Structures are given as C-alpha cells and as structure tokens.
C-alpha cells in the first residue's frame, strides 16, 4: 500500500523529518527490507533502532523512530512516541483504505491452512492479499494490511492469541467483516490456563463482527458451534455434519493423501479435489468454501480455488527419496490434535514399515506429559514406530534420541541398515524443535 510520509505522520501522531517521500508497505526486519518500504524498528530482545542504517542502506525509503533522527542517515524519518503502537496505527490507516471484504481466521488448529485455502478461493474472483506464513500477531497483522496493494479487493488475516484480549486487539486494528473459527482445543494452555479461556479468546473474533458481517462456524465442533450466541453477524456453518450449511459428502483419500469430495452449499453443489494433503484438510477446505461463498464466489470457482491453493511450507509436504522412501514433512508445528491427524495420515499410506520422528509439543502446561504419552499410544495402535527427539515426556516404548543426527541414525538402525522403498517416515514437532532438518537429512 502506498503512503506518503506526511500521511504516516498524521496517522501515528508523529513528526516528519525530511522530504515527504512515498513508501510502499512496511517491514520490521532490516535483513528483509525491500526498496521503497517503510522500516519500523521494534524494541524487543534487540533494539530495532540499531538497524535503521542497515535498513536504509537496503533501500528503505523512510523509517519510524521514537528518538531524535540521526542526520547521518539519508532517509526521511517519522518521529513517534512509540514505534510498536505506531505500527498498529498504520495498520488501522491501511484498513481504512480497504474494501469491506476483510476476513479474520482463528482457531487452535488449522488456521494457517484455512487462511491459505481461503486466499486461493477468493483469488479466483477478487484481487486478494493474505497473511504470509503465520503473520498472525500484533506485528504481522498490521504488516499484512500495509502490504496489501492499493487495488486489493479482499484480505485474509490469520489471527493468533497468547491470551484473552489479544484477538480483540487484532480485530480493533483490522475491523474484519467475516470471521472464520476452526477448532478450539487444549493447546497453548501454558499461556491460556484453561480450555474455557481458549474459547473465550477465540470467540473475540465473532464478537467483533458488525451486524451485516458473517461468522463461519465449525458445526462439527460443539464449542465453536455454540459461538453463534456471541455474534450479531449472520452465521454460516460448515462441517461433515449433515446439518451444516456447507458440507462434504463422499470423502475419498487417494494414495498421495489428497482428498476429494462432493461440496454441498447453499449456492449449489460441485465435486472438489484438494492438492493439500490429509483428510484433516477437508474441514479447513469447507471453512474456506463457506467464507468464499458468503462473499460471492461462485461454487465452481470455489472448487477451482481449493484445488489451486498451496499451503504454507512444512505442512504435510509429501516427497519420495531416491531410495523410494516416502517422507511426510509436517514439521511446522504440533499439538495433540494435529499430531493425531498426521499419524492417521501416515497410517493410510501404503507402506511395509512406518516411522514417526516426533519432537516436543510445546506450551501444553501441566497436560504435557499425558498428551505426549497419548500420542505414543495412538502410534502404537496404528503400528507406527516412534523416535522421540529431545522429549522425554513421550515415555517408554519409543526410541529416544538427543538430536537430528541421532534421529537419522535411529531410523537407519531400525531399518536394518538403510531405509528403502516401502518405508514411510513422518517428521513432526513444535516449531522450537525445527525437525524439518530430519526431512532434509533423509534427502
């Protein structure tokens, strides 16, 4: 989005120093600044002000600062009381310039995949912008709004939370007109405290919607379905439930874990094939279909958009090594629900031996040990051998290793010298485990 430095100063209550240059979007990482951007230095573990010269050298047209600008830095500056709050103010200004097709997506699991699928659906009909990767917090959301081109007709925003009130803040910045709720699960309990707190936080999205807005709720998930009482907006439901407004019938999974089904909606029915892998992507696709249809996307275009949509990286990436080993790289994140879905997908692959290299499921609080043992029990029932990387909570009955090299060595030993055709390996863990390195090593 194009803004003049004077407009940035007006939106943030700041003072412009230097020429009234035009900027295009914004960034907070000096290493990733693109020419013409506004650099926003954030004070966190490191002070972003220290990197203003590097950002300008990389091409930043202007920068924010909460202190006196350095005359030696050859770029316009907007001096503000606080750069963090100024970024939020700029997000509000960017939202004010957009049309009212702004969709917020939240939930304990599935929100990034749903965001990606919905962006694919909307892009068939509207010029669409969407959050990159998992840009879903007080920094990523305004950056997404500022990064939307001036001619954007629809925006999809992922919304995450670390506690009650966080999504309400994001909604105050973004003013969504459509809200999509996936599931509410007992994840991040270390931060939230209880499942009730998770539900309270996620429901802030539908509470923020205007009367002429649209809430998309999961009919298969009781906690989410009950949120129809928390919104003044019109409600559309989705799911495998026969009573859902948007539902899937005759779901079939192929040998590459891609689902096909008959999509049934208030606007008509059509066959759908997903490129995204895993049966657990069907509800995410239905959520995207409901939001897209509610925003006027024709049902045939919904099907085309779901097929063409591509998920963010490290999510159910299925590849085969030169030796014929099938590898599922689902290493972006993990919680008990997504872990169960991934193990179920591994079990559905045609294979003579199945291995799961699993890292920690973080932020589960006091439920962590039991949750990890529950994953092992599920794997045992599915005939999957578990290799646990640096996570003792998986307990007995698994192979414990300390690091990536240990995981690869354990796989080799369990395979009798080398993995080969007929073997399938799932790699999954929370982001802190960075287990995509195991998948990379297998190739």
Residues 297 and 162 occupy one common structural domain: yes
Look up residue 430 and give its two tokens: 């929370």
Tell me the three-class secondary structure of the chain, residue by residue. CEEEHHHHHHHHCCEEECCCCEEECEECCHHHCCCCCEECCCECCCEHHHHHHHHHHCCCCEEEECCCCCCCCCCEEEECCCHHHHHHHHHHHHHHCCCCCEEEEECCCCHHHHHHHHHHHHHCCCCEEECCCCCCCCCHHHHHHHHCCCCCCEEEEECCCCCCCHHHHHHHHHCCCEEEECCCCCCCHHHHCCHHHHHHHHCHHHHCCCCCCEEEEECCCHHHHHHHHHCCCEEEEEECCCCCCEEEEEEEECCCCEEEEEEEECCEEEEEEEEEECCCHHHHHHHHHHHHHHCCCCHHHHHHHHHHCCCCCCCCEEEECCCCCEEEECCCCCCHHHHHHHHHHHHHCCCCEEEEEECCCCCCHHHHHHHHHHHHHHHHHCCCEEEEECCHHHCCCCEEECCHHHHHHHHHHHCCCCCCCCEEEEEECCHHHCCHHHHHHHC
Residues 170 and 216 occupy one common structural domain: yes
Give the strand pairing for 62-65 and 128-130: unpaired
pLDDT score for 417: 94
Look up residue 122 and give its two tokens: 């909307």
pLDDT score for 193: 85
Residues 436 and 348 occupy one common structural domain: yes
Residues 290 and 385 occupy one common structural domain: no
User: 163-193 as b/e, with b when 16 or more CB fall inside 10 Å?
Assistant: ebebbebbbebbbbbbbbbbbbbbbbbeebe
Residues 67 and 102 occupy one common structural domain: no
- For residue 374, being part of any structural domain is answered with yes
pTM for the structure as a whole: 0.94
Query: In which residue ranges of the chain is pLDDT below 70?
Result: none
- For residue 43, being part of any structural domain is answered with yes
Q: How many structural domains does the chain have? A: 3
Residues 332 and 285 occupy one common structural domain: no
Which of 308, 325, 347 is the endpoint of a domain? 308
- For residue 188, being part of any structural domain is answered with yes
Binding region: 107-113
- For residue 87, being part of any structural domain is answered with no
Binding region for ATP: 107-113
- For residue 92, being part of any structural domain is answered with no
Domain harbouring 8, CATH code: 3.40.1390.10
Residues 148 and 250 occupy one common structural domain: yes
pLDDT score for 121: 98
Range of the domain at 110: 98-308
Residues 239 and 108 occupy one common structural domain: yes
- For residue 93, being part of any structural domain is answered with no
Residues 121 and 171 occupy one common structural domain: yes
Which of 279, 308, 337 is the endpoint of a domain? 308
Domain harbouring 140, CATH code: 3.40.1190.10
User: 351-382 as b/e, with b when 16 or more CB fall inside 10 Å?
Assistant: bebbbbbbbbbbbbeebbeebbbebbebbeee
- For residue 90, being part of any structural domain is answered with no
Q: Phi/psi of residue 243, each to 5°?
A: -90, 0
Residues 143 and 266 occupy one common structural domain: yes
pLDDT score for 191: 83
pLDDT in tens, 134-154: 789 999 999 999 999 999 999
Which of 58, 82, 106 is the endpoint of a domain? 82
Domain harbouring 337, CATH code: 3.90.190.20
Give the strand pairing for 317-320 and 326-329: antiparallel
Residues 50 and 128 occupy one common structural domain: no
pLDDT score for 189: 80
- For residue 214, being part of any structural domain is answered with yes
Residues 174 and 295 occupy one common structural domain: yes
pLDDT score for 79: 98
pLDDT score for 37: 98
Distance CA 74, CA 19 (A): 11
Provide the phi-psi class of 177: left if phi over 0, else alpha when psi is between -120 and 50, else beta. alpha
């Amino acid at each position: 989005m194009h803004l003049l430095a004077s407009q940035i100063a007006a939106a943030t209550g700041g003072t412009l120093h230097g020429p009234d240059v035009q900027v295009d979007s914004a960034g907070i990482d000096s290493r990733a600044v693109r020419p013409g951007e506004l650099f926003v230095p954030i004070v966190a573990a490191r002070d972003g002000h220290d990197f203003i010269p590097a950002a300008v050298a990389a091409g930043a047209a202007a920068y924010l600062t909460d202190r006196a600008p350095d005359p030696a830095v050859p770029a316009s500056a907007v001096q503000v009381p606080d750069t963090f709050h100024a970024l939020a103010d700029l997000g509000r200004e960017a939202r004010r310039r957009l049309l009212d097709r702004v969709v917020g997506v939240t939930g304990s699991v599935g929100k990034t995949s749903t965001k990606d699928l919905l962006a694919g659906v909307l892009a068939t009909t509207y010029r669409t912008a969407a959050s990159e990767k998992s840009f879903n917090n007080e920094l990523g959301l305004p950056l997404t709004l500022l990064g939307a081109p001036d001619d954007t007709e629809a925006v999809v925003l992922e919304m995450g939370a670390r506690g009650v009130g966080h999504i309400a803040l994001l909604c105050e910045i973004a003013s969504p007109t459509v809200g999509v709720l996936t599931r509410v699960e007992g994840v991040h309990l270390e931060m939230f405290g209880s499942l009730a707190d998770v539900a309270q936080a996620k429901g802030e999205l539908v509470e923020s919607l205007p009367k002429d807005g649209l809430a998309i709720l999961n009919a298969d998930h009781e906690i989410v379905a009950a949120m129809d009482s928390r919104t003044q907006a019109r409600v559309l439901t989705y799911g495998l439930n026969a009573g859902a407004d948007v539902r899937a019938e005759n779901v079939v999974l192929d040998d590459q874990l891609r689902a096909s089904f008959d999509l049934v909606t208030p606007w008509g029915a059509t066959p759908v094939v997903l490129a995204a892998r895993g049966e657990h992507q069907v509800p995410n696709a239905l959520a995207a279909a409901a939001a897209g249809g509610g925003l006027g996307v024709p049902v045939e275009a919904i099907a085309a958009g779901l097929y063409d949509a591509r998920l963010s990286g490290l999510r159910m990436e299925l590849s085969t090594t030169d030796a014929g080993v099938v590898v599922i790289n689902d290493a972006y994140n993990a919680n008990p629900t997504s872990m169960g879905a991934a193990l179920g997908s591994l079990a559905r692959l045609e294979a003579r031996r199945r291995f799961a290299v699993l890292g920690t499921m973080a932020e589960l609080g006091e439920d962590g040990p039991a949750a990890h043992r529950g994953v092992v029990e599920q794997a045992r029932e599915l005939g999957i051998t578990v290799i646990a990387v640096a996570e003792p909570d998986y307990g007995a009955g698994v192979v414990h290793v300390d690091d990536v090299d240990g995981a690869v060595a354990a796989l080799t030993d369990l395979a009798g010298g080398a993995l080969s055709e007929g073997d399938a390996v799932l790699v999954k863990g929370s982001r802190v485990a960075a287990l995509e390195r195991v998948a990379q090593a297998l190739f």
